[in-house]
């Protein structure tokens, strides 16, 4: 799916690695980054009027990544990190959009 998103000429998905903060390189970061990419593409397809609203696209991607983290925790509690728990807390409080607006995403 990730390769498809990157190759489809009609869908341009910007990414912002800064949204995953200092999460160490490895399988968890890779899965969550891929999830953000796919969810961002889905958001653009479902909301073409917001395709150029980077903050809305990034927020949709991060929302999905946090949900994926919750699913990962159910399968393997050892993936728990303070950073991702903080993002999950922000999501529960409806504050992920504010986090995205404050992130250094180049725009």
Average pLDDT over residues 79-88: 96
Q: Cα(51)–Cα(44) distance, rounded to whole angstroms?
A: 5
pLDDT of 6 reads 67
> What is the average pLDDT value for the chain, to the nearest integer?
90
> Is 89 domain-assigned?
yes
With a CB cutoff of 8 Å and minimum separation 6, the contacts of 37 are 2, 5, 13, 15, 61
Total domains present in the chain: 1
pLDDT exceeds cutoff 80 at 11 = no
pTM value is: 0.89
pLDDT in tens, 25-56: 999 999 999 999 999 999 999 999 999 999 99
> Is 53 domain-assigned?
yes
Residue 27, classified by CB atoms within 10 Å of its CB into exposed (0-12), middle (13-18) or buried (19+), is exposed
> Is 11 domain-assigned?
no
pLDDT of 89 reads 97
User: Model confidence at 9, in pLDDT bands (50, 70, 90)?
Assistant: low
> Is 13 domain-assigned?
no
Residue 58 belongs to domain spanning: 24-102
């Amino acid at each position: 799916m990730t390769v498809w998103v990157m190759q489809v000429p009609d869908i341009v998905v910007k990414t912002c690695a800064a949204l995953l903060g200092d999460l160490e390189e490895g399988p968890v970061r890779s899965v969550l980054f891929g999830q953000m990419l796919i969810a961002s593409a889905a958001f653009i397809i479902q909301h073409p009027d917001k395709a150029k609203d980077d903050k809305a696209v990034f927020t949709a991607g991060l929302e999905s990544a946090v949900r994926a983290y919750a699913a990962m925790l159910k399968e393997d509690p050892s993936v728990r990190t303070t950073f991702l728990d903080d993002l999950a807390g922000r999501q529960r409080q409806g504050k992920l959009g504010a986090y995205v607006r404050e992130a250094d995403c180049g725009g």
